[in-house]
Structure 1
Amino acid sequence: MSANSADRPALVEVVLVKAGRTKIRYPAELVADDGTRVTVRAPWAGDGVRDFGFVRFEPGDVFTEHYWRDRWYSVKEVRAADGTLKGHYCDITRPAERSGDRLVVEDLDLDLWVSADGTDVRRLDEDEFAASGLEAADPRAAAAAVAALDELDARARAGRLGALLG
């Protein structure tokens, strides 16, 4: 191993699975893994700009993503290319699984957006979740997903979302 390789950050491949299929995969810098929470950093991995109306994800944005092995969500801090905080995008997921340089996360459709100043908290994709059939196929997972969304929503509205990330 050369002296340079020791200075390079470790990379992991983040694999987001939805309804049994890979939705997206991308390389990310491994920031930390304490055995429970895995934190990675990656540039916006989508194609072009994604305009939600209340926020735009675009080339140059940087996502610092926090995944838990024991919680049913992930929290992604979204910053513009200039470092300005746009907000936090929270995905409701099954607990993350890391094996070597792969981090696999199953998206369960529900999402939460929290603006940088915390004044805009939005529950997203509840219609997709209802249509997914998860409640019938896996009632325990569906209940855990709804409870996770409720927890994040309550934390965000109380100004305590950041406490998860420290």
Structure 2
Amino acid sequence: MSGTSADGRRSATSETLEIALVKAGRTKIRYPAELLDDDGTRITVRAPWAAPGVRDFGFVRFEPGDVFTEHFWRDRWYAIKEVYAADGTFKGWYCDVTRPAVREDGILTVEDLDLDLWCSADASTVLRLDEDEFEASGLPATDPPAASAARRALTELESLARGNLLGTV
């Protein structure tokens, strides 16, 4: 069910989307998410940590009870995920470099391009992640324009993080 806000944007209530994260042509994970907003360009959802168990990256732990507010764009090559602990404490932003999101028939499909960025809640730690996986993926050789867009997206995300602007996007 959706309505229209005072500024004309469509907002949703009680609608669920299935998020399909695709990597190298295969579905990496699928999970349900509550649709918070879809303004035609940006889609915002909220979802609990969907992977089994705990994932400890060293700089942050994702664990059962964590909640993600995720922002996907139809015209940008990234997704920004606000990460909250079960008690509501803000952990930081986990950003995925992706192809632009596609929403169709209740499914939001996002193609992960391996590059990621982490920014701590206080913005004191900004880490570019998985650049080695990106190079090993073969994308730079098989799709140079996409690889170039992915690198630009990571640079843009890092600039936003260092300017403490991720929460304003």
Same fold per TM (> 0.5)? yes
TM class by smaller structure: over 0.9
Q: Which residue of 1 aligns with 2:29?
A: 24
d(CA) in 1 for partners of 2:56 and 2:164? 25
Q: Which residue of 2 aligns with 1:39?
A: 44
Unaligned stretches of 5+ residues in structure 1: 1-7
Q: How many residues align?
A: 158
Query: Is residue 56 of structure 1 aligned with residue 61 of structure 2?
Result: yes
Q: Which residue of 1 aligns with 2:6?
A: none
Deviation at residue 145 of structure 1 after TM alignment? 0.1
Which one of the candidate residues 95, 103, 111 is aligned to 2:100? 95
Which one of the candidate residues 152, 158, 169 is aligned to 1:153? 158
TM-score, normalized by length of structure 2?
0.92
Query: Is residue 80 of structure 1 aligned with residue 100 of structure 2?
Result: no
What is the percentage of aligned positions where both structures have the same residue? Answer: 71
Matched position secondary structure for 2:158:
helix
Deviations 1:42-99 (A, max 9, x none): 0000110000001000000000000000000000000000100000000000000001
Which structure shows the higher helix fraction? 1
d(CA) in 1 for partners of 2:128 and 2:152? 13
Q: Which residue of 2 aligns with 1:129?
A: 134
Q: Structure 1 runs of 4+ off > 6 angstroms?
A: none
**What's the RMSD between the two structures over aligned residues?**
1.1
TM-score, normalized by length of structure 1?
0.93
Which structure shows the higher strand fraction? 2
Deviation at residue 100 of structure 1 after TM alignment? 2.7
d(CA) in 1 for partners of 2:66 and 2:18? 18
